Amino acid sequence: MTPTVTSAATPTRLIACHECDLLQRETALPRDGVLRCCRCQAELYRARPDSVDRALAFTLASAVLFVISNLYPIVGLAVNGDLVETTLLGAVRILYNDGMWPLAGLVFATTLLMPLLQMTTMTYLLVPLWLHRRPYGVDIVFRLMHLARPWGMTEVLILGMLVALVKLAHIASVVPGVALWSFGALMLLLAAANSAFDPRALWQRMGEREAFVTDLHEAARSSAPTAMRCGLLSCHSCGLLVHSRGYLHDAGCPRCGAHLHTRKPDSFARTWAFLIAAMVLYIPANVLPVMNTSSLFGSEKDTILSGVVYLWTSGAWPLAAVVFIASIAVPMLKIIALIYLVISTQLRSNTLLQQRTRIYRLVELVGRWSMLDIYVITILVALVQFNALATIQAGPAAVAFGSVVVLTMFAAMSFDPRLIWDATEDHHV
């Protein structure tokens, strides 16, 4: 559905696209309908029926599975009558004890802390609404939920576990644990909870409305009426539109408290800083050993590429292709894509605007999947601990690679896609 901006005799609510800043009408949607921006095709919002009830049910079920997943072993490895099992928290502890505390902190944050924070904040917001009450401190909790969502990577962890199982099957007998199955179910339920949760329904159930209601006479005079051009600020957390004349730069959103900006501050400088750091670390991440394996037959150092080769020669070519794409191709392509976006935007190019916006959308979507190799290393290090027989330790490339993933995600978050479309404003003045 593609709304158009036209003049109206009666006031109507407006919405600003977060990717191109175009002002559009809010439109009633059919069940499960999607409203997309008529300029860049970004999703503006969805019609999610029974949002509070469904999201709460999925979130509570996720919380139960989260507890089970972290109490029971993920997988066990049996060698000569010895069985080594590990939980996710146990794997993090082994990384920390081996001196790999940056890697341990990254795995802990993305697989335990952030999913837990996401479930806790959603439950905190939804239970009072289900009881027809207003949650206390809703603004802070909502911002915490918004912060945690991009960093919870349960689905990437599941794929990492599968890759680790293939590698472990060539070492000893693999015994799947209860947590392996519960983590799989947790992944599906978390995805369902995120899909069912509707921020617009949240604020409407609390009786919140937009800070202003305006007609479109002023906007209709321009072929590209943007929020910035009409003197409006759009909150990236809750979507609220407010008049910029009533708020100073870097002021807080009156609804959720998030900082309001016409554009992300120092977007180009921050994006370049993260990109340059990621490019510097990308070299040691692929050259240095990512794992050190010690056994009766000596020691062996594996790089990310040698791990892909091992999977391929072992017959697991689909997983080899997945690891190659997620761990080698995606980080490199993300860096190249972001460099292209920043340079073309700084040059104020007004060509291929929709295509460049889609590239940005894709970079944000695939960024988290580069964590795959980190999770594979975590499981292998935790399980292959047979003292004199065989041990695996994380290598220095693991820390460098994890840093590349985080830095490229920060770079994508720092880049403001609305700057791509600002070049068109020169032609409408």
As averages over each run of 10 residues, the pLDDT of the chain (429 residues) reads 36 78 84 85 84 92 95 84 83 90 94 95 92 87 91 91 83 84 93 89 70 44 70 82 64 81 90 96 90 67 81 78 85 94 93 92 88 88 70 86 94 93 67
- Same-domain pairing of 274 and 382: yes
* Residue pair 157/183 in contact by the 8 Å Cβ criterion: yes
- Same-domain pairing of 184 and 92: yes
* Residue pair 291/301 in contact by the 8 Å Cβ criterion: yes
Spell 57-94 as b/e; 16+ CB within 10 A means b. bbbbbbbebbeebbebbbbbbeeeeeebbbbbeebbeb
- Same-domain pairing of 176 and 308: no
218 belongs to a structural domain: no
pLDDT for position 298: 57
393 belongs to a structural domain: yes
AA letter at 261: H
Name beta bridge partners: 300. 293
Q: Pairing mode, if any, of strands 232-234 and 241-243? A: antiparallel
Q: Pairing mode, if any, of strands 82-86 and 75-79? A: antiparallel
Q: What is the CATH number of the domain that holds 324?
A: 1.20.140
Cα–Cα distance for residue pair 85/78, rounded to 1 Å:
9
pLDDT for position 255: 83
Cα–Cα distance for residue pair 218/136, rounded to 1 Å:
38
pLDDT for position 324: 86
175 belongs to a structural domain: yes
223 belongs to a structural domain: no
Query: Strand, helix or coil at 414?
Result: helix
- Same-domain pairing of 74 and 208: yes
- Same-domain pairing of 203 and 61: yes
Q: Pairing mode, if any, of strands 298-302 and 232-234? A: unpaired
- 136's CB contacts (< 8 A; 6+ apart) are none
pLDDT digits (tens, 9 = 90+) for 199-249: 888 887 776 554 443 444 454 454 558 888 888 888 888 888 887 765 555
299 burial level (CB within 10 Å; 0-12, 13-18, 19+): exposed
Backbone phi, then psi, for 352, in 5-degree steps?
50, 45
- Same-domain pairing of 201 and 304: no
Cα–Cα distance for residue pair 168/78, rounded to 1 Å:
10
137 belongs to a structural domain: yes
- Same-domain pairing of 424 and 285: yes
Backbone phi, then psi, for 230, in 5-degree steps?
-95, 10
Residue 364: domain span: 266-429
- Same-domain pairing of 207 and 310: no
- Same-domain pairing of 206 and 66: yes
pLDDT for position 183: 93
What is the 3 state secondary structure string of 250-299? Answer: CCECCCCCCECCCCCCCHHHHHHHHHHHHHHHHHHHHHCCCEEEEECCEE
Q: Which residue, 152, 181, 213, sits at the end of a domain? A: 213
334 belongs to a structural domain: yes
68 belongs to a structural domain: yes
Q: Which residue, 172, 188, 213, sits at the end of a domain? A: 213
- Same-domain pairing of 274 and 202: no
* Residue pair 380/294 in contact by the 8 Å Cβ criterion: no
79 belongs to a structural domain: yes
Place of tokens 């603004």: 139
Query: Strand, helix or coil at 29?
Result: coil
Please tell me the total count of domains within the chain.
Answer: 2
- Same-domain pairing of 271 and 411: yes
- Same-domain pairing of 163 and 271: no
pLDDT digits (tens, 9 = 90+) for 25-73: 888 888 878 888 888 888 888 888 888 899 999 999 999 999 999 999 9
pLDDT for position 220: 43
Q: Which residue, 213, 240, 274, sits at the end of a domain? A: 213
CA distances from 91 to 12, 155, 187, 362, 417 (A): 54, 18, 19, 31, 38
